[in-house]
Structure 1
Amino acid sequence: MTRRHAAMLRDDRGAGLVALPWAVMAFLTFLMLAVQVAVHLYSASVLTAVGHDATRRAAFGGGSPAAIADAERWLRSRIGTAVEIEVLRWNTTDDTVALELAARPPSVLMDTSAVIGQRNIERRFEVRRELARFAGSPWGSSS
Protein backbone atom coordinates (compact mmCIF):
# COMPACT_ATOMS: atom_id res chain seq x y z
CA MET A 1 0.00 0.00 0.00
CA THR A 2 1.39 3.39 -0.91
CA ARG A 3 1.57 6.34 1.40
CA ARG A 4 -1.07 8.15 -0.61
CA HIS A 5 -3.57 5.30 -0.14
CA ALA A 6 -2.82 5.12 3.56
CA ALA A 7 -3.41 8.86 3.92
CA MET A 8 -6.76 8.57 2.12
CA LEU A 9 -7.85 5.76 4.44
CA ARG A 10 -6.92 7.75 7.53
CA ASP A 11 -9.00 10.74 6.31
CA ASP A 12 -12.23 8.65 6.16
CA ARG A 13 -11.97 7.31 9.68
CA GLY A 14 -15.03 8.12 11.81
CA ALA A 15 -17.26 8.99 8.86
CA GLY A 16 -19.45 5.95 9.54
CA LEU A 17 -20.13 7.14 13.09
CA VAL A 18 -21.71 10.29 11.71
CA ALA A 19 -23.75 8.62 8.92
CA LEU A 20 -25.01 5.63 10.91
CA PRO A 21 -27.40 7.48 13.29
CA TRP A 22 -28.94 9.37 10.37
CA ALA A 23 -29.41 6.18 8.39
CA VAL A 24 -31.00 4.42 11.37
CA MET A 25 -33.30 7.39 11.96
CA ALA A 26 -34.37 7.45 8.29
CA PHE A 27 -35.02 3.70 8.34
CA LEU A 28 -37.12 3.92 11.52
CA THR A 29 -39.11 6.86 10.11
CA PHE A 30 -39.97 4.93 6.95
CA LEU A 31 -40.83 1.87 9.04
CA MET A 32 -43.14 3.95 11.24
CA LEU A 33 -44.82 5.42 8.17
CA ALA A 34 -45.36 1.95 6.72
CA VAL A 35 -46.89 0.74 9.99
CA GLN A 36 -49.20 3.78 10.10
CA VAL A 37 -50.36 3.17 6.52
CA ALA A 38 -51.03 -0.49 7.36
CA VAL A 39 -53.04 0.49 10.48
CA HIS A 40 -55.04 2.99 8.43
CA LEU A 41 -55.83 0.42 5.73
CA TYR A 42 -56.76 -2.20 8.32
CA SER A 43 -59.05 0.26 10.12
CA ALA A 44 -60.75 1.17 6.84
CA SER A 45 -61.27 -2.49 6.03
CA VAL A 46 -62.72 -3.29 9.46
CA LEU A 47 -65.03 -0.25 9.37
CA THR A 48 -66.30 -1.19 5.93
CA ALA A 49 -67.02 -4.80 6.87
CA VAL A 50 -68.56 -4.08 10.27
CA GLY A 51 -70.61 -1.14 8.96
CA HIS A 52 -72.06 -3.23 6.15
CA ASP A 53 -72.88 -6.10 8.51
CA ALA A 54 -74.52 -3.75 11.02
CA THR A 55 -76.65 -2.19 8.29
CA ARG A 56 -77.71 -5.64 7.13
CA ARG A 57 -78.64 -6.57 10.72
CA ALA A 58 -80.79 -3.45 11.06
CA ALA A 59 -82.43 -4.02 7.67
CA PHE A 60 -83.17 -7.66 8.46
CA GLY A 61 -84.80 -6.51 11.71
CA GLY A 62 -87.16 -4.38 9.65
CA GLY A 63 -85.43 -1.06 10.38
CA SER A 64 -87.24 -0.68 13.70
CA PRO A 65 -85.66 1.44 16.44
CA ALA A 66 -84.96 -1.70 18.47
CA ALA A 67 -83.21 -3.36 15.51
CA ILE A 68 -81.15 -0.22 14.86
CA ALA A 69 -80.16 0.05 18.54
CA ASP A 70 -79.15 -3.62 18.56
CA ALA A 71 -77.14 -3.19 15.33
CA GLU A 72 -75.42 -0.08 16.72
CA ARG A 73 -74.49 -1.91 19.93
CA TRP A 74 -73.10 -4.77 17.86
CA LEU A 75 -71.14 -2.34 15.65
CA ARG A 76 -69.58 -0.52 18.61
CA SER A 77 -68.60 -3.79 20.28
CA ARG A 78 -66.89 -5.04 17.10
CA ILE A 79 -65.00 -1.82 16.39
CA GLY A 80 -63.72 -1.43 19.93
CA THR A 81 -62.07 1.60 21.48
CA ALA A 82 -59.05 1.99 19.19
CA VAL A 83 -61.08 3.62 16.42
CA GLU A 84 -62.83 6.84 17.41
CA ILE A 85 -66.31 7.05 15.84
CA GLU A 86 -67.13 10.65 14.97
CA VAL A 87 -70.38 10.26 13.00
CA LEU A 88 -72.87 7.41 13.31
CA ARG A 89 -76.15 8.35 11.65
CA TRP A 90 -78.98 5.98 10.76
CA ASN A 91 -81.67 6.78 8.21
CA THR A 92 -84.65 4.58 7.45
CA THR A 93 -87.20 4.82 4.67
CA ASP A 94 -89.99 2.49 3.67
CA ASP A 95 -87.61 0.46 1.52
CA THR A 96 -84.09 0.96 2.87
CA VAL A 97 -81.93 1.31 5.94
CA ALA A 98 -78.88 3.56 5.56
CA LEU A 99 -75.88 4.16 7.79
CA GLU A 100 -73.41 7.03 7.57
CA LEU A 101 -70.20 6.25 9.40
CA ALA A 102 -67.15 8.46 9.90
CA ALA A 103 -64.28 7.44 12.15
CA ARG A 104 -60.73 8.41 12.97
CA PRO A 105 -58.24 5.52 12.87
CA PRO A 106 -55.60 5.23 15.58
CA SER A 107 -52.20 6.92 15.25
CA VAL A 108 -48.98 5.02 15.84
CA LEU A 109 -46.56 7.23 17.80
CA MET A 110 -46.84 10.20 15.45
CA ASP A 111 -49.55 11.99 13.52
CA THR A 112 -49.05 11.21 9.85
CA SER A 113 -52.35 12.62 8.55
CA ALA A 114 -50.60 15.14 6.28
CA VAL A 115 -48.43 12.40 4.75
CA ILE A 116 -51.13 9.75 4.31
CA GLY A 117 -53.80 12.13 3.09
CA GLN A 118 -57.37 11.72 4.21
CA ARG A 119 -57.46 11.41 7.97
CA ASN A 120 -61.05 10.34 8.57
CA ILE A 121 -62.58 7.21 7.14
CA GLU A 122 -66.07 7.94 5.83
CA ARG A 123 -68.46 5.27 4.61
CA ARG A 124 -72.14 5.16 3.64
CA PHE A 125 -74.09 1.92 3.54
CA GLU A 126 -77.59 1.40 2.19
CA VAL A 127 -79.39 -1.92 2.41
CA ARG A 128 -82.87 -2.73 1.19
CA ARG A 129 -85.25 -3.94 3.86
CA GLU A 130 -86.27 -7.53 3.51
CA LEU A 131 -89.22 -8.96 5.37
CA ALA A 132 -89.17 -12.64 6.11
CA ARG A 133 -91.81 -14.59 4.25
CA PHE A 134 -93.24 -17.48 6.13
CA ALA A 135 -95.10 -20.46 4.75
CA GLY A 136 -98.79 -19.99 5.31
CA SER A 137 -98.70 -16.21 5.15
CA PRO A 138 -100.52 -14.52 2.24
CA TRP A 139 -97.20 -13.05 1.03
CA GLY A 140 -95.15 -16.23 1.37
CA SER A 141 -96.47 -18.09 -1.64
CA SER A 142 -95.24 -17.14 -5.07
CA SER A 143 -98.05 -18.86 -6.94
Structure 2
Amino acid sequence: MASTPTNELGAGLIALTWGVLAYLMFLMLAVQVAMDFYTASVVGAIGHDAVRQAAFAGGSPNARAEAERWLRTRIGSSVNIETVSWDTTDGVVSLNLAVRPPTVLIGTPGLATSRRFEHRFDVRNETPQFARPR
Protein backbone atom coordinates (compact mmCIF):
# COMPACT_ATOMS: atom_id res chain seq x y z
CA MET A 1 0.00 0.00 0.00
CA ALA A 2 1.51 3.26 -1.06
CA SER A 3 1.06 6.28 1.11
CA THR A 4 0.47 9.65 -0.35
CA PRO A 5 2.44 12.48 1.17
CA THR A 6 0.25 15.10 2.84
CA ASN A 7 1.25 18.54 3.91
CA GLU A 8 0.44 18.83 7.64
CA LEU A 9 2.72 21.70 8.43
CA GLY A 10 1.11 23.96 11.06
CA ALA A 11 -1.49 21.43 12.21
CA GLY A 12 0.12 21.20 15.65
CA LEU A 13 0.10 24.97 15.98
CA ILE A 14 -3.63 25.13 15.31
CA ALA A 15 -4.35 22.35 17.80
CA LEU A 16 -2.14 24.06 20.39
CA THR A 17 -3.94 27.36 19.89
CA TRP A 18 -7.36 25.77 20.42
CA GLY A 19 -6.07 23.85 23.44
CA VAL A 20 -4.68 26.98 25.09
CA LEU A 21 -7.91 28.85 24.34
CA ALA A 22 -10.01 26.09 25.91
CA TYR A 23 -7.70 25.99 28.96
CA LEU A 24 -7.97 29.77 29.44
CA MET A 25 -11.77 29.63 29.16
CA PHE A 26 -11.99 26.95 31.86
CA LEU A 27 -9.55 28.93 34.01
CA MET A 28 -11.68 32.06 33.63
CA LEU A 29 -14.80 30.08 34.57
CA ALA A 30 -13.05 28.72 37.67
CA VAL A 31 -11.97 32.23 38.70
CA GLN A 32 -15.53 33.51 38.22
CA VAL A 33 -16.99 30.73 40.36
CA ALA A 34 -14.40 31.43 43.07
CA MET A 35 -15.25 35.15 42.97
CA ASP A 36 -18.97 34.36 43.29
CA PHE A 37 -18.37 32.12 46.31
CA TYR A 38 -16.14 34.75 47.91
CA THR A 39 -18.71 37.50 47.27
CA ALA A 40 -21.53 35.41 48.72
CA SER A 41 -19.44 34.67 51.81
CA VAL A 42 -18.35 38.28 52.38
CA VAL A 43 -21.82 39.72 51.79
CA GLY A 44 -23.34 37.15 54.13
CA ALA A 45 -20.88 37.86 56.93
CA ILE A 46 -20.96 41.64 56.62
CA GLY A 47 -24.76 41.74 56.25
CA HIS A 48 -25.22 39.65 59.37
CA ASP A 49 -22.81 41.84 61.33
CA ALA A 50 -24.56 45.01 60.13
CA VAL A 51 -28.04 43.85 61.13
CA ARG A 52 -26.69 42.67 64.50
CA GLN A 53 -25.10 46.05 65.02
CA ALA A 54 -28.40 47.81 64.25
CA ALA A 55 -30.42 45.45 66.45
CA PHE A 56 -28.08 45.76 69.43
CA ALA A 57 -28.27 49.56 69.11
CA GLY A 58 -32.06 49.39 69.46
CA GLY A 59 -33.14 49.21 65.82
CA SER A 60 -33.77 52.96 65.59
CA PRO A 61 -33.46 54.77 62.25
CA ASN A 62 -30.17 56.30 63.39
CA ALA A 63 -28.81 52.87 64.35
CA ARG A 64 -29.86 51.44 60.99
CA ALA A 65 -28.28 54.37 59.10
CA GLU A 66 -25.03 53.90 61.01
CA ALA A 67 -25.08 50.16 60.33
CA GLU A 68 -25.71 50.79 56.63
CA ARG A 69 -22.75 53.19 56.45
CA TRP A 70 -20.62 50.53 58.13
CA LEU A 71 -21.90 47.90 55.68
CA ARG A 72 -21.14 50.01 52.60
CA THR A 73 -17.60 50.77 53.72
CA ARG A 74 -16.88 47.12 54.56
CA ILE A 75 -18.21 45.68 51.29
CA GLY A 76 -16.19 48.12 49.23
CA SER A 77 -16.45 49.24 45.64
CA SER A 78 -15.85 45.93 43.86
CA VAL A 79 -19.32 44.61 44.75
CA ASN A 80 -22.21 46.61 43.28
CA ILE A 81 -24.83 47.12 45.99
CA GLU A 82 -28.22 47.41 44.31
CA THR A 83 -30.73 47.62 47.15
CA VAL A 84 -30.52 47.93 50.89
CA SER A 85 -33.80 47.98 52.79
CA TRP A 86 -34.40 47.83 56.51
CA ASP A 87 -37.50 46.84 58.45
CA THR A 88 -38.23 46.74 62.16
CA THR A 89 -41.37 44.88 63.20
CA ASP A 90 -42.27 43.11 66.42
CA GLY A 91 -38.80 43.53 67.85
CA VAL A 92 -37.05 42.01 64.83
CA VAL A 93 -34.63 44.07 62.74
CA SER A 94 -34.52 42.85 59.14
CA LEU A 95 -32.12 43.70 56.34
CA ASN A 96 -32.78 42.90 52.69
CA LEU A 97 -29.62 43.19 50.64
CA ALA A 98 -29.22 42.68 46.88
CA VAL A 99 -25.78 42.85 45.25
CA ARG A 100 -24.14 42.10 41.91
CA PRO A 101 -20.78 40.39 42.24
CA PRO A 102 -17.76 41.46 40.18
CA THR A 103 -17.19 39.63 36.93
CA VAL A 104 -14.20 38.52 34.87
CA LEU A 105 -16.39 37.58 31.92
CA ILE A 106 -15.80 40.16 29.22
CA GLY A 107 -18.43 41.05 26.66
CA THR A 108 -21.30 39.08 28.21
CA PRO A 109 -23.88 41.66 29.25
CA GLY A 110 -26.73 39.13 29.27
CA LEU A 111 -24.95 36.83 31.69
CA ALA A 112 -23.68 39.66 33.87
CA THR A 113 -27.14 41.16 34.35
CA SER A 114 -28.72 37.88 35.44
CA ARG A 115 -26.25 37.32 38.27
CA ARG A 116 -27.67 38.86 41.43
CA PHE A 117 -27.34 37.78 45.04
CA GLU A 118 -30.20 38.54 47.40
CA HIS A 119 -29.90 37.99 51.14
CA ARG A 120 -32.28 38.56 54.04
CA PHE A 121 -31.02 38.89 57.59
CA ASP A 122 -33.23 38.90 60.69
CA VAL A 123 -32.06 39.59 64.24
CA ARG A 124 -34.33 39.90 67.25
CA ASN A 125 -33.89 43.16 69.12
CA GLU A 126 -33.34 42.08 72.70
CA THR A 127 -32.31 44.38 75.48
CA PRO A 128 -30.63 42.79 78.44
CA GLN A 129 -32.40 43.21 81.76
CA PHE A 130 -30.17 43.01 84.76
CA ALA A 131 -31.52 42.02 88.13
CA ARG A 132 -31.01 44.55 90.87
CA PRO A 133 -29.06 43.30 93.85
CA ARG A 134 -31.18 43.25 97.01
The TM tier, using the shorter chain, reads: 0.7 to 0.9
Give the unaligned 5+ runs of structure 2: none
Q: 1:130 aligns with which of 113, 126, 129?
A: 126
One-letter amino acid of the structure 1 residue matched with residue 130 of structure 2: F
Alignment RMSD (CA, Å): 2.3
- Residue of structure 2 in register with 1:38 after alignment: 34
Cα distance in 2, alignment partners of residues 81 and 34 from structure 1: 22
Bigger-Rg structure (1/2): 1
Q: How does 1:1-143 map to 2 (within 5 A)?
A: 11-110=7-106, 111=108, 114=111, 119-136=115-132
Identity %: 55
Residue deviations 1:69-112, cap 9 Å, x none?
A: 11111111110011011110000013100000000001114248
Alignment partner of 1:97: what SS? strand
The normalised TM-score by structure 2 is 0.86
- Cα distance in structure 1, aligned partners of 2:110 and 2:25: 15
Q: Residues 3-22 of structure 1, C-alpha deviation per residue, up to 9 Å, x if partnerless?
A: 95xx76x7444210111111
Q: Secondary structure at the match of 1:90?
A: strand
One-letter identity of the residue aligned with 1:41 = F
Aligned 8 A contact 1:36 1:112 in 2: no
Structure 1 alignment gaps of length 5 or more: none
